[in-house]
A and B are shown apart, each in its own frame.
Chain A
């Protein structure tokens, strides 16, 4: 790989309306390869909608998404996955009747640009399960996992598609401090392998230590962008979190 880092993702002037509600307003930012960008914002700020547009689930009302130089605004999510974009959902999306290993194997078998043999996909899946340190046995049906375990499973499955860009939507919500610590280490380790990450959180415990840059979103608009320490002391961000419009601490 050359020294010159490439642009991984460019988001140019994204807007989205749902009926009469403007959920995103002219959102633009870009992401270098190997970078970790955190998006913060209160509930309803439009973080999930932004992810849905980037990953091809929702068509924007305006603007475009460029992924490694290609305009992907109208690509389908499965095509984006095979091109190297993976994501997790706020509510984990698992295959309930499949075992833990089978869940991850689905990612390894279908999500990679060139599909491996079944045995190889299975071997790779075990590696990823180890990487995320999921405590459940690999034969457990996924529906029997706790919410936290389902999140880790979804993460392992996303990694098994060998993404270049990984989008994590509120992956730390409801996790214990210890689990957040593990996840922090894991994410930092993934970065050393060249993965680019985009993550959201409306709390800050995971996103602060791992992000290179933060982007604060409020009511569909970027209100601040920059290094994490600067952003959280930004008065506008503070008022978005603590101010009258959206009382903080409603969730916890």
Chain B
């Protein structure tokens, strides 16, 4: 590989190292483990959303994949007592199936209308799960799910469920892996094909790119990763309800993190999540216990108005200037 390190990849590596090392100095900062851990989870969600975004789609309905992944894992755990990591990997296939259906029915939709369709698409799994009382106990939600398991490495115990620090490291590893995956996709031939069809579908087709197939592949990757985030969420919380996982809020978060962080750079989505989520949880939550998510609405409006390329583009421009 002819990888010459950019300033931005050095920056990202430094940030990742910082995120790995700080708990050594603050071993009891449990609130921060929890908040940053969730920020990593939402960062992964934003990356998953962005994989679909590479094809030019702006989805307002990723809660559908998140919720299906959550319910898929929860049901496997509840009825068959599979161990959480297995349930997450298998249960998220529900999201992939939904992704296949989505690809077929929305294949002719672009831009605004794809956004509207995705917004409405969430309602279908939500209402079905909400009303299928015998299977999912409906709007009561499912409780008593197994927490993430404990890993025994010789004398070492990594209690991903009970120990917030171990959980933080797990989620940090997840988001680093996802970032790496996202960058690999962007730099690959497939990523190039997605970029081409995003910029001009007619021209991309004319260059021999199978636009529908590439777009579908992007959505399937995106939906599986989103489903995994949903599954993790279910087992971290130990309970889920339709209104919790199929919410507008869940659909909005990856969009907001990505646009705020920056769509054009590989670390933008994660940067957005790592900045905004802690800000919301640690600063806004105490100030406005009821409507603290108002922050997100405000942020997205200001971002589109004042720096539409996101804060990552702004930072790298400042750094290189």
Enumerate chain A interface residues (CB-CB to B < 8 A): 55, 76-79, 81-82, 86-87, 89, 93-98, 106-107, 109-112, 115, 118, 157-158, 161
What bracket does the count of chain B residues touching chain A fall in? Answer: 10 to 19
A95 to B193, CA, bound (A): 11
Q: Are A107 and B207 in contact (CB under 8 A)?
A: yes
Given contacts A98-B195, A106-B192, A118-B189, contact A111 B200 (CB under 8 A): no
Residue of A nearest to B189 (CB): A109
> What is the bound-complex CA distance between A94 and B200, given in angstroms?
7
Q: A106-B192, A109-B192, A118-B189 are in contact. Are A96 and B199 (CB under 8 A)?
A: yes
Q: Which residues of A contact B199 (CB under 8 A)?
A: 95-98
Instruction: Give the dominant DSSP class at B's interface.
Output: helix
Among B61-69, B106-114, B208-216, the one that faces the other chain is B208-216
B175 within 8 A of partner (CB):
no
The chain B residue sitting closest to A55, CB to CB, is: B206
Contacts of A86 in B (CB 8 A): 206
Give the most central of A95, A96, A98: most B CB within 10 Å.
A95
**Given A82-B208, A98-B196, 17 additional A-B pairs, CB 8 A:** A55-B206, A77-B206, A78-B208, A78-B211, A81-B205, A81-B207, A81-B208, A89-B206, A93-B202, A93-B203, A96-B199, A97-B199, A109-B192, A110-B193, A110-B208, A111-B207, A118-B189
Question: Would you mind naming 6 contact pairs between A and B with Cβ atoms under 8 Å apart?
Answer: A82-B208, A97-B199, A106-B203, A115-B189, A118-B189, A157-B207
Give complex CA distance A111, B189 in Å. Answer: 12
- Once bound together, how far apart are the Cα atoms of A106 and B196, in whole Å? 8
Partner of B207, one of A76, A79, A110: A110
When distances are taken between beta carbons in the complex, the residues of chain A under 8 Å from B192 are 106, 109
**How many Å lie between the Cα of A89 and that of B204 in the bound state?**
13
B210 with A78: CB separation less than 8 A: yes
Q: Are B208 and A161 in contact (CB under 8 A)?
A: yes
* Complex: A77 Cα to B209 Cα, angstroms: 9
Which of chain B's residues 250-294 have a Cβ closer than 8 Å to chain A? Answer: none
State in angstroms the CA–CA spacing of A112 and B205 once bound together: 13
Most chain A Cβ neighbours within 10 Å, of B195, B207, B208: B207
Q: Bound state CA distance, A82 and B196, in angstroms?
A: 16
Roughly how many angstroms separate A98 CA and B22 CA in the complex, as a whole number?
A: 40
Q: A93 and B196: CB pair below 8 A? A: no
Bound Cα distance A93, B201 (Å): 9
CA of A153 to CA of B207, assembled, Å: 13
Q: Which residues of B are found within 8 Å of A98, using beta-carbon distances?
A: 195-196, 199
CA distance A81 to B193 in the complex (A): 15
Q: Contact partner of A161 among B193, B202, B207, B210, CB < 8 A?
A: B207
Pairs of residues from A and B, 6 with the lowest C-beta to C-beta distance, nearest first: A81-B208, A93-B203, A111-B208, A95-B199, A82-B208, A110-B208
Q: Across the interface, do B202 and A96 meet the contact criterion of CB distance under 8 Å?
A: no
Q: In the complex, A109→B208 CA distance in Å?
A: 9
Contact, CB under 8 Å: A94 / B203: yes
Decide if A95 touches B203 in the complex (CB within 8 Å).
Answer: yes
Min CB gap B110→A, angstroms: 16
For the complex, give the distance between the alpha carbons of A158 and B208 in Å: 10
CB closest chain-B residue, reference A80: B208
* Residues from chain B with Cβ under 8 Å of A96 in the complex: 199-200
Distance A27 CA – B210 CA, assembled complex (angstroms): 29
A110 close to B200 (CB less than 8 A): no
Known: A109-B192, A115-B189. A87 touches B206 (CB 8 A): yes
Query: Is the beta-carbon distance between A77 and B189 smaller than 8 angstroms?
Result: no
Residues of A within 8 A of B195 (CB): 95, 98
For the complex formed, measure the closest distance between the CB of B173 and the CB atoms of chain A, giving whole angstroms: 30
Interface centre among A82, A86, A94, A106 (most CB of B within 10 A): A106
> For residue A115, which residues in chain B have a CB less than 8 angstroms away from its CB?
189
Q: Which of B202, B208, B209, B210 contacts A89 (CB 8 A)?
A: B202
> A161: which B residues are within 8 A, CB to CB?
207-208
Chain B residue at smallest Cβ distance from A89: B202
B211 — which chain A residues lie within 8 A by C-beta? 78
Whole-angstrom CA separation of A111 from B202 in the bound complex: 14
**Chain B residues, CB < 8 A from A87:** 206
Which chain A positions have C-beta within 8 A of B189? 109-110, 115, 118
Assembly CA distance A79 to B208 (angstroms): 6
Cross-chain contact B208 with A93 (CB below 8 angstroms): no
Closest to B193 in A: A110
- In the complex with contacts A95-B196, A118-B189, A110-B202 CB distance below 8 A: no
Contacts of A82 in B (CB 8 A): 208
